[in-house]
């Protein structure tokens, strides 16, 4: 298995090569913003949403912190802090998931899927 820093690099590269706008915070690879369009056929369609992702030193063995930068109303998003509250991030995280699994609509529970349903 590769080292945590190599895994972080690989996951970040995949994310940057995707359709999402990725903006690094500072010089490191541990904090960045991801911007994406609201999912079609949802209350969030037409919106542009920005999340802040913070990777712990122990990533991928420890889950990232993910929170919305812009104000959003959803049962799985803390109204004051913007923190995303999903089991896959907070409780059932596995190194198998990685950032692309959280953000890419085709895999597991994603931010976009969360926004399409208010019953998560």
Mean pLDDT, residues 35-55: 88
Q: Residue 41 pLDDT > 60, yes or no?
A: yes
Residue with tokens 């490191």: 28
Report the pLDDT value the prediction gives residue 55, as an integer from 0 to 100: 85
CATH (domain of 89): 3.10.110.10
Q: Annotated catalytic residue: which of 10, 22, 29, 85? A: 85
What is the domain extent for residue 29? 4-116
Cis peptide upstream of residue 43 (ω within 30 degrees of 0): no
Report the candidate in 1, 22, 2 with the shortest Cα–Cα distance to residue 100. Answer: 22
Rounded Cα distance, 59 and 17, in Å: 20
Q: Is the dihedral of CA 111, 33, 94, 73 positive or negative?
A: negative
Q: Tell me: the pLDDT tens digits for 9-19?
A: 888 888 888 77
Q: At residue 102, does pLDDT exceed 60?
A: no
Give yes or no: 112 in active site: no
In angstroms, how far is CA 80 from the centroid of its own chain? 18
Confidence bin at 33 (pLDDT 50/70/90) = very high
Q: What pLDDT shows up at residue 96?
A: 66
**What are the φ/ψ torsions at residue 18 (nearest 5 degrees)?**
-85, -175
The pLDDT assigned to 106 comes to 34
| Selected residue with higher pLDDT from 81 and 39 | 81
Number of domains composing the chain: 1
């Amino acid at each position: 298995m590769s080292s945590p820093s190599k895994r972080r690099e690989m996951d970040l590269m995949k994310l940057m090569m995707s359709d999402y706008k990725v903006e690094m915070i500072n010089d490191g690879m541990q904090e960045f913003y991801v911007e994406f369009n609201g999912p079609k056929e949802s209350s969030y369609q037409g919106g542009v949403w920005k999340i802040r992702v913070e990777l712990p030193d122990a990533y991928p063995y420890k889950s990232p912190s993910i929170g919305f930068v812009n104000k959003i109303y959803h049962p799985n998003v803390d109204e004051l802090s913007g923190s995303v509250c999903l089991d896959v991030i907070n409780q059932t995280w596995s190194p198998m998931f990685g950032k692309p699994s959280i953000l890419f609509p085709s895999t597991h529970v994603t931010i976009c899927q969360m926004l399409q349903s208010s019953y998560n």
